[in-house]
A and B are shown apart, each in its own frame.
Chain A
């Protein structure tokens, strides 16, 4: 608002053509940014709906001449590669993502309450630990994690690699530091007096938790859960390492890489599958976008 107000005042000082050119320049730059951002996504969707003939033609056109669902049909109905069932992969991805969201939400809510409501000896150490863990790249420790899970598997007989157990545990752990920090703010924002008043009225800890804390923390829990969902849904390197050749347990990102590796040039189905992978993330993203920013740059804007 303030920006527009100042541009309205300017004509008195500057010549109108300058102002017009300046505004046109700004708008043009805006359009350029918009095109740059949207174009690859557009190209993915456009290729997914384009006919096979057009994809294979050497003359790529900006807009598809005909629209077809054949690529989605081939991906979804498993006619792209023999014995490769898209629904199985979708189910795997959903199990891993929702499973790690549920575990993560529970664990991070408990930890957030501890950090926001109690002063205890290891509190600062715990928070510093969360920050350090966020910094260490998965790519660096993946060898150690792999060896651990392999040894655990051999020792206990529980299958950790080649099925969904291992990656579910890792995905739960990976999101925890950020979700704990996100929820901590929400828990801290609930006035302590509310809880104390309820306690004085004779409410038990469980009642205080479910009736007072939960409703107020719920928006934060939703945001944290969506963050954890997207993390698990998109994750690639851990799935690649742990699942290897166990095709039955593939998650969707791994499936995409598998399609690409196997078919190479089947861009129609690959883009159709990419589109299907991307849609849920886009939908969720629009919900939590603002919180993602504030969650990731915690406190830096405060100045």
Chain B
């Protein structure tokens, strides 16, 4: 043993094996390497995405508008928590916040339940058939948000949209009358229903495919054992599938919440204006304050953005804990 260590040429031991005295010429140039390698990514990420998070908090406490962007502009005046006070005492804001939460819960709930059911269904169908369905679902998943929103706007268009025409043709005792010219995009309830439909349509394939991948990893013996114990499908889902896939479901839940809280494009197309404040969601309100209001109120927009970010961070804290516990950061 001692002989081989002495015999080994000093240059070959390297730094990884934990040798007490690593040879200098190899060690020296290695030290800054990782920092050089992450430098470009780190610079662009902190400059473009990280620093603005800090600024968002700063802007939310200042009066800031386009005139502060002009050359020789006055310094933005410090307003403390004034924007937040205005928001919290504004019933319109509370309604938008409540709408955001309700719409988000519905989107996430329906997506997860439907996605899980479809995942289980795919697992039970023969291979050729489940592959066909999976490819069909890919189409929904892959459709760009803007295309999907436009198609649904067209499907639900008053007068000529296929859904309106079809509902109108159905017997009145079943669905009621007057559907042909029904405008889905004026009132919160019909508009949000269509919005939820678009989001669920695009999001459930991801959940279904993830659940399917998870189901394939569960040993079949567990289900056999459950069946021997007399468990039906419902029981074996809650006693076998759900506990086995708990980490997956937790992750899917969090990802869906994060994605659905920020929905903007679909609402932008479906609402098609900023005039009707009763159909705003938080992200829409931020954009309206920043880029549609006249003059733009960057401070207020940032305050709403802080509220939205806090909501997402509350959910994310849990997610980060899971990831760190699973060793993803190691």
Q: Which of B79-87, B182-190, B305-313 contacts A (4 or more CB under 8 A)?
A: B305-313
Per DSSP, chain A at the interface is helix
B48 to chain A, nearest CB (A): 4
Partner pick for A173 among B48, B69, B127, CB 8 A cutoff: B48
| A301 interfacial by beta-carbon distance below 8 Å | yes
How many Å lie between the Cα of A137 and that of B260 in the bound state? 10
How many Å lie between the Cα of A137 and that of B129 in the bound state? 37
Contact B262 A139 (CB under 8 A): yes
A43 to chain B, nearest CB (A): 6
How many Å lie between the Cα of A65 and that of B279 in the bound state? 38
Contact A237 B287 (CB under 8 A): yes
Q: Which of A67-75, A84-92, A145-153, A212-220 contacts B (4 or more CB under 8 A)?
A: A145-153
Partner pick for B244 among A282, A297, A303, CB 8 A cutoff: A303
Contact A241 B291 (CB under 8 A): yes
Type the 1/0 row for B315-330, where 1 means its CB is closer than 8 Å to any CB of A: 0100110111011111
Contact B40 A106 (CB under 8 A): yes
A32 to chain B, nearest CB (A): 10
Contact B143 A281 (CB under 8 A): yes
**Known contacts A58-B159, A140-B308; A37 and B56 CB within 8 A of each other:** no
Partner pick for A114 among B34, B123, B126, B264, CB 8 A cutoff: B34
| A289 interfacial by beta-carbon distance below 8 Å | yes
- Taking CB atoms and an 8 Å cut-off, the chain B residues in 116-161 that contact chain A are 118, 121-127, 129-130, 132-133, 135-148, 150-155, 157, 159-161
Q: Which of B101-109, B234-242, B248-256 contacts A (4 or more CB under 8 A)?
A: B248-256
Q: Interface residues of A, CB < 8 Å — how many?
A: 110
Contact B33 A107 (CB under 8 A): no
- Taking CB atoms and an 8 Å cut-off, the chain B residues in 166-190 that contact chain A are 166, 180
- Taking CB atoms and an 8 Å cut-off, the chain A residues in 235-263 that contact chain B are 236-237, 240-241, 253, 256-257, 260-261
Contact B136 A34 (CB under 8 A): yes
Q: Which B residues are in CB contact (< 8 Å) with A148?
A: 51-52, 55
Partner pick for B151 among A44, A58, A142, CB 8 A cutoff: A44
Per DSSP, chain B at the interface is helix
Partner pick for A271 among B123, B126, B151, B214, CB 8 A cutoff: B151
B153 to chain A, nearest CB (A): 8
How many Å lie between the Cα of A124 and that of B308 in the bound state? 27
Partner pick for B150 among A38, A172, A271, A281, CB 8 A cutoff: A271
Contact A145 B52 (CB under 8 A): yes
How many Å lie between the Cα of A253 and that of B157 in the bound state? 21
Partner pick for A3 among B118, B123, B316, CB 8 A cutoff: B123
Type the 1/0 row for A284-303, where 1 means its CB is closer than 8 Å to any CB of B: 01100100111011111111
A261 to chain B, nearest CB (A): 8
| A4 interfacial by beta-carbon distance below 8 Å | yes
Q: Which A residues are in CB contact (< 8 Å) with B35?
A: 114, 120, 122
Q: Which B residues are in CB contact (< 8 Å) with A132?
A: 316, 320
**Known contacts A143-B290, A296-B206; A41 and B139 CB within 8 A of each other:** yes
Q: Which A residues are in CB contact (< 8 Å) with B132?
A: 34
Type the 1/0 row for B274-312, where 1 means its CB is closer than 8 Å to any CB of A: 000000000100110011000000100110011011001
19 pairs, CB–CB < 8 Å, chain A vs chain B:
A38-B136, A44-B143, A58-B159, A60-B165, A60-B166, A128-B329, A137-B312, A148-B51, A172-B44, A180-B41, A234-B145, A236-B264, A236-B265, A256-B150, A274-B151, A275-B147, A282-B142, A300-B251, A303-B247
Residues of A whose CB lies within 8 Å of any CB of B are 1-4, 6-7, 26-27, 29-30, 33-34, 36-38, 40-41, 43-44, 47, 55-60, 106-108, 110-111, 113-115, 117-118, 120, 122-124, 126-133, 135-148, 150-151, 154, 169-170, 172-174, 176-177, 180, 196, 200, 233-234, 236-237, 240-241, 253, 256-257, 260-261, 265, 267, 270-271, 274-275, 277-278, 281-282, 285-286, 289, 292-294, 296-303
